[in-house]
Amino acid sequence: MKFGILVNEGPYQHQASDSAYQFCAAAIARGHTVQRVFFYHDGVNNSTRLTEPPQDDRNIVQRWSRLAEQHGVDLVVCVAAALRRGIKDENLAPGFRISGLGQLVEVGIQADRVVTFGD
């Protein structure tokens, strides 16, 4: 099955990002495909390389970057939501790219299911 994922919440304010990541990892482990993760609203905060959690805490941004590198998952950050929060190409973590809502529409058409995490 091909999945599209929508993440609407930031990495440390809400469980949505952790849940989305765990869902993606489990789906991939079971042989499914995660075509794209689209980060929208506060979810764009998952993409910034400026995040530095304490050493004893999970590094959610790094997890997403590894998922993209190891499994070819397309990590797309909404351009309008990113710019509102001061996120630009130069401060994106590895594996993320900025694009428009058309990428969300496209994965909605191509995927078998789109799963949303966060409000």
For the annotated catalytic residues, the residue numbers are 78
CB 77 within 8 A of CB 87: yes
Tokens of 91: 């401060």
Rounded to whole angstroms, the Cα distance separating 53 from 74 reads 24
Q: First and final CA of the chain: distance in angstroms?
A: 24
* Secondary structure (3-state) at 55: coil
Strands (E), the chain: 2-7, 33-39, 74-78, 96-99, 113-117
At which residue do the structure tokens 């990590």 appear? Answer: 75
